Amino acid sequence: MSDSHYPRDPEEEEEEEDVDDSGYKTVKDAVLFAIDVSKSMLTAPTEFNEKKPDTALSPTLAALKCAYALMQQRIISNPNDMMGILLFGTEKSRFQDGGDGEGPGLQYPHCYLLTDLDIPAAADVKRLRDMVEDEEERQDLLQASDDEVSMANLLFCANQIFTTKAPNFSSRRLFLVTDNDNPHGTDQTKDARKSAIVRAKDLYDLGVTIELFPISHPDRGHTFDRSKFYDDVVYSSTPEDPNAPAPLTSDIKAASSTAKDGISLLQSLLSSVASRAAPKRALFANLPFEIGPDIKIGV
């Protein structure tokens, strides 16, 4: 029995050759880590296994190691995505193209841009690896400031980085790692709190999603409480871009840093970041699928 064919209009064949690429969309992702370098975040476990270095990680180092792992992964899986690392609470200050403690860094005191938001280069990977593995390399930089860090300054700093480095990216996310659930909790800092909330709203309006990775210290009697500050900073709704990733909700629990188990903190952070590492990527949309003469459906 011969195959049946319905006649095709030559014009239709020409239309098929002209592929409409408007349905295809590559969603570039830009992730900026903001890692707290406070004294509590720099405190390492009191007991650890010398044969397992990860058991001796402080929360700050665990976060840096987590960022290093994500950077390595992205170079292979998503080479066009951007990533950067911003430390806050440091004694030193540094912004884009500024030296340590001078120039543009003074705009954002106690914020140190370790690696600018960009497609990771070999130098970025090496510097981050050295920070994670070489104690001498990080000893000078990872010094906590005695002054309170302005969260409004931190968020505005992040705003400037996203605006200048990734203005047209569909997915822009700020990964905030901290154990301080109430950065401006005193009566004297109410204005600073209000300013931070305004800066967070500015980021949201820009299309940036803030992802909070909280850290608790049960051994010190500290359980991270989002309601004190971050419920007003981390929005529960999604930016207007439908391809943007869903924002953080209560599904990510506070990582627990205990006196005897530094490696569990790293594993917890790695797991939480992995769950948020990939943005929603629309590979194709509204492509016509012809199932018969003059019968097309969109897929």
Distance CA 197, CA 233 (A): 6
Q: Which two tokens stand for residue 92?
A: 């030193």
Domain 25-298 has CATH 3.30.460.10: no
Report the pLDDT value the prediction gives residue 98, as an integer from 0 to 100: 57
High-pLDDT (> 90) share of the chain, %: 36
pLDDT in tens, 10-35: 555 554 445 444 444 457 899 999 99
Q: Which residues of the chain have pLDDT under 70?
A: 1-26, 47-49, 53, 55, 97-106, 187-188, 236-266, 269, 275-299
Mean pLDDT of the chain: 77
pLDDT in tens, 223-282: 889 899 999 998 765 555 444 444 444 444 555 554 344 446 667 767 777 766 666 544
H-state helical runs in the chain = 10-17, 59-77, 122-133, 135-139, 151-165, 190-206, 262-277
